[in-house]
C-alpha cells in the first residue's frame, strides 16, 4: 500500500482524534515502519489494519466507522491533487471516469500502486451501480470515498451495499440520487 495513504491517514487521525491517540497507537502496534512513512514507498496493508484496530480499541469507534470517516477525508485530499482532471457536473459523471481517468494517472505516477478495480454501470439518470474489487478488503473505505464524493458535489445519494466476496474484497454499491 502506498505510503501516501498512511501519511494521510495519520494526518486524519491526528486532526480528528488527537496526537495522543495516534502516538499511543503507533507505540502499541510495534509497526515495522515505526509509523514513519514515505509518500512514494510501499508498505504492508497489514500496518493500516493494525493501526485501525488499535485506534478502534482506544476510541471505541468501530474500524468500519473509522474507515468510512477517513474515506470522506481522503476524497477531499484526492480530488485536490495536482493531477490533470476533467471537470464534472455531478458525482455520477465523476465516478464513471475514475477507473480510466484518475486511476490511470495514479498508475502512471506510482506503477507499483495496488489500486482497486472499479466498475460503474448507469441504470438511469439518477441511479447507478458502483463495483469495488480489491484483495485488501477496504470496502468501508470505498463507501467513505463515495460519501465524500456526494458531499463534494452537494448531492443527496442513498447508498445500499451488496457483498459479492468475503471480507469486503468485492462489493457492489447501489446508488440512487434524490
CATH number at residue 136: 3.90.1520.10
- The confidence score (pLDDT) of residue 86 equals 62
What is the spatial distance between Cα 66 and Cα 62, in angstroms, rounded to a whole number?
6
Grid cell listed for 33: 515502519
Q: Is residue 66 situated within a structural domain?
A: no
Q: Is residue 40 part of a domain?
A: yes
**Does one domain contain both 163 and 106?**
yes
Residue-wise pLDDT for 158-168, tens only, equals: 999 999 999 99
**Strands in the chain per DSSP E:** 117-124, 127-133, 157-163, 170-177
57 lies in the same domain as 81 = no
Domains contained in the chain, number: 2
Strand partners, 160: 174
**What is the span of the domain harbouring residue 21?**
3-61
Say how far apart CA 46 and CA 49 lie, in whole Å: 5
Tell whether 95 and 50 lie within a shared domain: no
* Per-residue pLDDT tens digits for 79-116: 887 655 567 889 999 899 888 777 787 788 778 778 89
Amino acid at each position: 500500500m502506498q505510503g501516501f495513504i498512511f501519511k494521510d491517514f495519520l494526518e486524519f487521525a491526528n486532526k480528528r482524534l488527537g496526537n495522543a491517540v495516534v502516538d499511543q497507537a503507533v507505540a502499541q502496534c510495534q509497526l515495522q515502519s515505526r509509523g514513519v512513512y514515505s509518500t512514494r514507498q510501499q508498505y504492508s496493508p497489514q500496518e493500516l489494519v493494525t493501526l485501525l484496530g488499535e485506534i478502534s480499541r482506544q476510541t471505541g469507534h468501530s474500524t468500519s466507522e473509522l474507515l468510512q470517516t477517513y474515506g470522506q477525508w481522503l476524497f477531499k485530499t484526492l480530488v485536490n491533487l495536482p493531477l490533470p482532471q476533467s471537470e464534472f457536473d455531478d458525482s455520477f459523471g465523476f465516478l464513471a471516469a475514475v477507473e480510466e481517468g484518475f486511476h490511470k494517472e495514479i498508475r502512471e505516477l506510482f506503477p507499483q500502486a495496488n489500486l482497486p478495480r472499479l466498475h460503474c454501470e448507469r441504470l438511469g439518470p439518477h441511479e447507478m451501480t458502483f463495483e469495488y474489487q480489491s484483495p485488501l478488503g477496504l470496502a468501508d473505505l470505498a463507501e467513505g470515498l463515495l460519501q465524500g464524493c456526494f458531499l463534494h458535489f452537494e448531492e443527496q445519494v442513498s447508498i445500499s451495499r451488496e457483498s459479492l466476496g468475503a471480507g469486503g474484497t468485492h462489493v457492489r454499491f447501489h446508488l440512487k440520487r434524490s
